[in-house]
Amino acid sequence: MADWSAELPGKAAEGNSGHPEDHNKIVAAIREVRTNVDEIELTPGDDGHTPEITFNGTKIVVDGVEGPDLKGDPGDDGAPGDDGAPGTPGDDGEPGKDGFPTEEQWNTLVARVEALESGE
Contact 26, 7 (CB under 8 A): no
Single-letter code of the amino acid located at 68? P
For 56, the enclosing helix (H) or strand (E) is: strand 53-56
91 part of a folded domain: no
What's the domain count of the chain? 1
- In a domain? residue 32: yes
107: pLDDT strictly greater than 90: yes
The per-residue pLDDT for 38 is 65
Give the Å distances, CA to CA, from 51 to 34, 60, 64.
Answer: 22, 12, 9
Whether 109 is in a domain gets the answer: no
Over residues 14-42, the mean pLDDT reads: 76
Instruction: Give the domain range for residue 29.
Output: 1-42
Residue 3, in any domain of the structure = yes
- CA 33/CA 6 separation, integer angstroms: 9
Q: Give a yes or no: residue 117 inside a domain.
A: no
State which H helix or E strand residue 62 sits in.
Answer: strand 59-62
More confident residue, 94 or 39: 94
DSSP state of 37: H
